Copies of this chain bind each other. A is one copy, B any other.
Amino acid sequence: MSLIYDGAIQDVIDSFAKLPGIGPKGAQRIAFYLLSAPKEEARHLADAITTLQEKVRFCEICGNVTEESPCKICSDPRRDRTTICVVERPSDILPLDRTGQYHGLYHVLGGVIDPMAGVTPAKLRIKSLLERLKDGTVTEVILALNPTIEGDATMTYITRLLDGSGIKVTKLASGLSVGSEIEYADEITLGRAFAGRRSTDE
């Protein structure tokens, strides 16, 4: 006596349930919301999804997502062209740029070295990074990779590649995040906070 939803509803539920962070219950909630939503809103959502892959491509220089290649950042004349900040994914660029502390260029690796998952250096955008460094304009490469085992290993790998190139290679400071509590911080974070301690005069 079990019953499933009619085709179109179940199709929407199944399609949404495939998306990251949405389970079957959440997908069902969305389907019923869309059913009673203004026709315009549902249509706009469908159009936005269709347009996404048509319009958005990857910047031929930095690998960021963009509608025009080169992207806005790569083609912005006000940007400091002596620095490149290397990130794992395009979605890392916006939060870093919002800090207002960095005005240079970016380079998207497309991941980190992870042999267990089959991600070798050749599968990352490392070759194109080296190409960008050839003409001598860039004097500093900031490795802004996530502080995971794979991220650290990738930073070590790139640092070695650039050994003797004369280019300064740095990484983001590791330590306590603002608003966190020492009592609840993990040992590795606290260890790095100790190691990176600075004079209180700075």
B97–A6 CB distance below 8 A: no
What CA separation (Å) do A68 and B89 show in the bound complex?
46
Copies in the complex: 2
What CA separation (Å) do A39 and B65 show in the bound complex?
16
Q: Which of B41, B65, B103 contacts A5 (CB under 8 A)?
A: B65
A131 to chain B minimum Cβ distance, whole angstroms, is 23
Interface size on A, residues (CB 8 A): 63
What CA separation (Å) do A78 and B67 show in the bound complex?
56
Contact with B along A8-33 (1 / 0, CB 8 A): 11011001101111100110111111
Chain B residues with CB under 8 A of A33: 19-20
Instruction: Give chain A interface residues in 61-116, CB to chain B under 8 Å.
Output: 65-68, 71-73, 89-91, 93-94, 97-98, 100, 103
Q: Which of B15, B20, B26, B89 contacts A45 (CB under 8 A)?
A: B15
Instruction: Give chain A interface residues in 131-148, CB to chain B under 8 Å.
Output: none
What CA separation (Å) do A9 and B64 show in the bound complex?
12
22 CB-based A-B contacts, threshold 8 Å: A1-B103, A2-B97, A3-B72, A3-B73, A3-B93, A3-B97, A7-B55, A9-B65, A11-B52, A12-B49, A12-B52, A19-B33, A19-B45, A20-B33, A22-B22, A31-B52, A32-B65, A32-B89, A35-B53, A35-B56, A35-B65, A42-B50
